[in-house]
Amino acid sequence: MKTEKQYKDLTIREFTKAADIYESSHAGIYEMCKDDYPYISGELAKEDYIDLLDCGCGTGPMISLLYEADPSRHYTGIDITPRMIEVARAKNLPGVTWVVGDCENLPFDDNAFDVIICSNSFHHYPNPQKFFDSAQRVLRPGGRLILQDYTAPAPVLWLMNHTEMPLANLIGHGDVGAYSLDEVRRFCGKSGLRVEKLERGRKFRLHLVARKGPVPEPQRNDSLTRKEQIKNAYKLTGSKSGFYDGMMTYSTLPGKTICRLVWNMDGQKNLRYLEKALSGVPQDFEGKLLEVPVGTGVLTMPVYADLPKADITCLDYSEKMMASAREKAETMGIANIKFVQGDVGSLPFEDESFDVVLSLNGFHAFPDKEAAYRETYLVLKKGGIFCGCFYIKGECGRTDWFIDHLYGPKGFFTPPYETRESLRQQLEQRYEKVKTTAVEGIGCFRCRK
């Protein structure tokens, strides 16, 4: 039996040779991977998601298909073979993250992904339990693992593991082993994943859908999920909503009309971009947070109501906007918050004062964007998170027309405007671990100082 390193070295050598033909019409045995794509796409379509990880992504054929169908989500592909990732990166899919790494030790933060897919890669992993443990760690509560690989009845499985795969090793392939349904069920159980579907399909295909359990019930009672917090913002507007709040929360008829007409957004897209923009604020956050600009606070007060140990500062240039935010905070009983009137171009705070800086729908209105980037960077602590969203050009033609012919001339927005690529470049000049994505004409970002 080979060592863990020997198996992984074989896999890297095998797929370094295969990388340039992997998605071609003469890919040989690798063409069977395409049979998994419709099944995975079908499972993904059953639930909405924002962040997806493809384990053993190869040159990224599955991510390419998903990106073509919906580029607003954030896709990450990881593969142990550098040449595979090199070919994937050459596709130049904006906002997609490609990582060279080991799926048995995923190099991502805890609770980072809504869904993990793994197609025809699992049989290359020498330590299958480590993969399941690692997948469980990086999935968010309620997140899913969708896995396709080999399985078979016991006699055939024995032949695969004791004859076929050892022979494959002799000709340079990195196959390690295939597993029975019972073994896969045990892997899931030990890692804390709950099996929702586990079956053997045609052509000896293993179909698995497993879910990470929700946050334990006592914690859920004390801490709403981020989606629930955003939906509470929608409820906060109610019949007393002004036009601005109704538009930001997609909760009134005029607001919904503007969202659809100008921004090409329905309720799901509106929810998706807000979840993405707020993803840099941990749900158990206890540090110092600056929101600039706070606006009317309709999006963030329900979030802050669930962060009683945080030290929150909200800044806006408009006293009228801030008065509306202050009223919401008082109504919701949020005591750990202070409001400051000021200019983002000259923030009245010491350098490295905050653990998180949040900016929702503000940068497209700032007249001196370079000063805003500089100031938000300076007041953020080293290791702190900068996250948020704002309008970016080039993603939705309808939105661009309204910005150029109405919002800009009326002074609501101030050019120049970022594109998705220029936003990424702007952030990468200052920050690390930059993640950007777009939902129609709204660019969402998260990065670390």
CA distance 166 to 168: 5
Q: Provide the 10 A C-beta neighbour count for residue 185.
A: 16
- For 35, list phi and psi in degrees, rounded to 5: -65, -25
Q: Provide the 10 A C-beta neighbour count for residue 12.
A: 19
Kindly tell me the sign of the dihedral angle through the C-alpha atoms of 356, 358, 363, 368.
negative
CA distance 118 to 210: 12
Question: Which residues are registered as beta bridge partners of 211?
Answer: 144, 194
Task: Give the SS3 label for residue 71.
Answer: coil
| pLDDT at res. 29 | 61
CATH 3.40.50.150 fits 4-212, yes or no: yes
Cα angle vertex 170, ends 167, 173, to 5°?
Answer: 90
DSSP codes joined into one string, 277-313: HTTTS-TT--SEEEES--TT-TTTHHHHTT-TT-EEE
DSSP codes joined into one string, 19-38: GGGTTSTT-GGGGGGGGGHH
**Secondary structure letter of residue 214 according to DSSP:** P
Q: Which CATH number fits domain 277-448: 3.40.50.150, 2.70.98.50, 3.20.20.70, 3.40.50.10800?
A: 3.40.50.150
| pLDDT at res. 217 | 42
Task: Give the SS3 label for residue 168.
Answer: helix
pLDDT, tens digit, for every residue of 232-243? Answer: 544 444 434 466
**Which element (helix H / strand E) includes 360?**
strand 354-360
| pLDDT at res. 154 | 86
- Residue 379's Cα: distance from chain center in Å? 25
Q: What are the domain boundaries of the chain? A: 4-212, 277-448
| pLDDT at res. 59 | 92
- Nearest Cα to Cα of residue 284 among 360, 208, 223: 223
* List of the chain residues with pLDDT < 50: 215-223, 233-241
| pLDDT at res. 243 | 65
The edge-to-edge listing of strands for the beta sheet with 139-150 is: 97-100, 74-79, 51-55, 113-119, 139-150, 205-212, 193-200
| pLDDT at res. 188 | 94
CA distance 331 to 350: 30
Token readout for 197 is: 């579907």
Instruction: Assess contact for 186 and 158: CB atoms under 8 A.
Output: no
Q: Provide the 10 A C-beta neighbour count for residue 46.
A: 9
Residue for token pair 């109405």: 406
**Cα radius of gyration (the chain):** 24
Residue for token pair 């991510």: 63
- For 245, list phi and psi in degrees, rounded to 5: -65, -40
Task: Give the SS3 label for residue 194.
Answer: strand
| pLDDT at res. 30 | 57
- Nearest Cα to Cα of residue 50 among 37, 62, 66: 66
- Nearest Cα to Cα of residue 9 among 61, 90, 105, 82: 82
74-79 vs 97-100, strand pairing mode: parallel
| pLDDT at res. 25 | 61
Q: pTM for the whole thing?
A: 0.59
The residue length of the chain stands at 449
- Nearest Cα to Cα of residue 136 among 100, 188, 99: 188
- For 130, list phi and psi in degrees, rounded to 5: -65, -35
DSSP codes joined into one string, 361-398: S-TTT-S-HHHHHHHHHHTEEEEEEEEEEEE-BTS-HH
Helices 4-18, 82-89: inter-axial angle, 10-degree rounding: 40
